[in-house]
Amino acid sequence: MDDEEIARTNLEHILKKEGYQVQTAANGLEALEKIRRGHFDLILTDLKMDRMDGIQLLEAAKQIAPQAAIMLFTGYATVDSAVEALLKGAVHYLSKPIKLDELRGTVRRLSEQKRLTRNLRGPVLCFSGPPGTGKTSIGQSIAEALERKFVRLSLAGLRDEAELRGHRRTYVGAMPGRIINEIRRLGVKNPVFMLDEIDKVGQGFKGDPASVLLEILDPEQNSHFLDHYLDVPFDLSGVMFIATANLVDYLPAPLLDRLEVIPFPGYSESEKQQIAKNYLIPRQLEHHGLAHLGIEFTERAILDIIRGYTREAGLRNLEREIATICRRLARICLKDQDACPTLIHEDLLDQLLGPRRFTHEVAEAQNRVGVTTGLVWTEFGGEIVFVEAAAMQGKKQLILTGSLGNVLQESAQTALSYIRSQAKKFNLDPDFFADKDIHIHIPAGSIPKDGPSAGLTIALALLSLLTGRPARLDVALSGELTLSGRILPVSGIREKLLAAQRAGVRRVILPQRNAVEVEGLEKEVKEGLEVVLVSEIDQALLDQVLLPA
Ligand code: ADP
């Protein structure tokens, strides 16, 4: 692009002779129009022009055609703006008068680079972790760092394939799909596009969500994404997609295959304390117009809020509680500025937040026969659960309740069969099941539970019941049990240990085969916990968990 016709035609002639396809434009608007319509690898522009200068063109072109490299020509007088152009993303600049060899060499080098990098594509990232661990915030920061626009689309509410892919225009009220709609709204085709809660699409979805997502996320296919409303292929390859999920375990395999999963684990207590002190509290004070009052929280108060008022892997509730305190403080200030406390210490929490909602529940619970503590991993992070077993007169029935999934039910059957087959080893009457029913219940029935990792916990609850030895509730277990009595490794170790800490567990029993993972965890995650690794159920393990009868 050059506003001098002679320069323009000369350049066109030279470059065409080199074998490139060339289009020219006399001003910025004309150039943008052409960039919008065609596909360009390289844009050469003069820096000084009427109407729209090279820098403005650079900025606009970067949005429309992110793939194009942009090179500027400049006279000596405008070296400063050339530097500015480089900072804004131009790849090179040539000073006028242009030396033809230099021009040919540079263009050749750039097109060679383009050829090499044309097929390079970043992977589609998938941030996976419990709510409030910063997945969305990191996505926003990536967009900011790349100077691209950010858009977030929650997949959780989607019911219909047409919402993603658009309606055919034969329908009254037909609309383009959400993807195209957002891109139109933003006006750029290279935003950072966050597909939130990709693990929540599925139930009740009309059409096949996985296939649409595959088409959107697969770099091989998404350069000609077909929206039904648009009805011409649209190139999505410039969009940076980031998916988020709470748990990736249940994603369809072909979809998971295309994603580079980055785990966002829950925060430890000390991490939460630091984040609260450095980010959440200053931000909430600011939002509530209290920043100028110099209000501070003591370390102990922050810790007490974390322990007494929240039970979560992320930071959502912590931030909410801090916001509640700020609102109360704002009200006190409005009534009487002098009465507003400037140092929030732990004794004020009762007054500001009400009575504590959570206690170290297992440490204070009473040990019972047939009740053990288990560690599970849910989409909200780690949790503790109690497994209860009871026996009664009956006819060899195993009753399972507490909305248990299939795998969990099978774990319970396996645990019972294992104990029956090994009755001698545990000094039990081999016929203990002959005239009995056994009932296993895992409370908190509204939470669906599944997975194999409760096998060990169930086995110990049964052994406690059958031997009459109370189980220590401050000992928590997690491990998959096979019919032959081997203990297989489990996932989510870090989340489970954090949950154990939150609940006041003292000893955690984990499979020997998780040793490497346990070894690799930071000190804070294991603080206050005695981690015992086991490979089979033996007397030593029983003594770790069960008290004497
Ligand atoms: P997610 O998308 O994982 O549910 P968000 O990104 O919405 O989580 O984060 C929830 C809140 O927690 C936000 O207000 C965010 O600023 C804050 N937050 C999360 N992680 C951090 C961190 N490491 N440092 C500072 N603030 C954080």
509-544: per-residue pLDDT in tens? Answer: 999 999 999 999 988 888 889 999 999 998 888 898
CA distances from 115 to 11, 119, 120, 216, 419 (A): 22, 8, 10, 24, 65
Q: Which residue has the higher pLDDT, 305 or 29?
A: 305
| C-alpha 347 to ligand 1 mean position (Å) | 28
Structure tokens at 205: 């979805």
Predicted local confidence at residue 60, as pLDDT:
86
Residue nearest to atom 27 of ligand 1 (CA): 134
Atom of ligand 1 nearest to the CA of 244: 2
Cα–Cα distance between 329 and 351 in angstroms, integer?
A: 11
* Banded pLDDT at 460 (limits 50, 70, 90): very high
Predicted local confidence at residue 369, as pLDDT:
92
CA angle 542, 372, 378 (to 5 degrees): 125
Predicted local confidence at residue 356, as pLDDT:
86
| C-alpha 96 to ligand 1 mean position (Å) | 50
Supply φ then ψ for residue 171, to 5 degrees.
Answer: -85, 145
* Banded pLDDT at 339 (limits 50, 70, 90): confident
Does ligand 1 have an atom closer than 6 angstroms to the CB of 279?
Answer: yes
| C-alpha 268 to ligand 1 mean position (Å) | 14
* Banded pLDDT at 418 (limits 50, 70, 90): very high
Residue nearest to atom 21 of ligand 1 (CA): 134
Do residues 227 and 203 lie in contact, with contact meaning Cβ atoms separated by under 8 Å? no
Does the pLDDT of residue 338 top 60, yes or no? yes
Does ligand 1 have an atom closer than 6 angstroms to the CB of 272?
Answer: no
DSSP 276: I
Predicted local confidence at residue 446, as pLDDT:
58
Mean pLDDT of 2-12: 87
Q: Mind listing the domains of the chain with CATH numbers?
A: 5-117 (3.40.50.2300), 124-263 (3.40.50.300), 269-353 (1.10.8.60), 361-545 (3.30.230.10)
pTM of the model: 0.71
Residue 200 annotated to the active site: no
Does ligand 1 have an atom closer than 6 angstroms to the CB of 132?
Answer: yes
Q: What is the mean pLDDT of the chain?
A: 87
Does ligand 1 have an atom closer than 6 angstroms to the CB of 266?
Answer: no
Does ligand 1 have an atom closer than 6 angstroms to the CB of 304?
Answer: no
Does the pLDDT of residue 284 top 90, yes or no? yes
Angle at which helix 79-87 crosses helix 54-64, to 10 degrees, equals 10
Does ligand 1 have an atom closer than 6 angstroms to the CB of 414?
Answer: no
Does ligand 1 have an atom closer than 6 angstroms to the CB of 275?
Answer: yes
Does the pLDDT of residue 106 top 80, yes or no? yes
Residue 135 annotated to the active site: no
For ligand 1, mutation pick of 127, 137, 380 (most atoms within 8 Å of CB): 137
Cα–Cα distance between 282 and 304 in angstroms, integer?
A: 18
Atom of ligand 1 nearest to the CA of 278: 25
Residue nearest to atom 5 of ligand 1 (CA): 134
| C-alpha 244 to ligand 1 mean position (Å) | 13
Does ligand 1 have an atom closer than 6 angstroms to the CB of 142?
Answer: no
For ligand 1, mutation pick of 153, 315, 317, 379 (most atoms within 8 Å of CB): 315
Does ligand 1 have an atom closer than 6 angstroms to the CB of 128?
Answer: no
Atom of ligand 1 nearest to the CA of 129: 3
Do residues 480 and 453 lie in contact, with contact meaning Cβ atoms separated by under 8 Å? yes
Does ligand 1 have an atom closer than 6 angstroms to the CB of 341?
Answer: no
Q: Which one of the listed residues 81, 128, 411, 453 is annotated catalytic?
A: 453
Strands 507-511 and 475-477: parallel
SS3 content of the chain, % helix, strand, coil (to 5): 45, 20, 35
Does ligand 1 have an atom closer than 6 angstroms to the CB of 136?
Answer: yes
Angle at which helix 100-117 crosses helix 5-17, to 10 degrees, equals 60
Please confirm whether the linkage preceding 443 is cis (ω < 30° from 0).
no
Task: Express each pLDDT in 186-227 by its tens digit.
Answer: 988 888 999 998 888 766 667 777 778 888 888 777 888 888
Q: What is the percent of the chain with per-residue pLDDT over 70, rounded to a whole number? A: 95
Cα Dmax for the chain: 103
| C-alpha 134 to ligand 1 mean position (Å) | 3
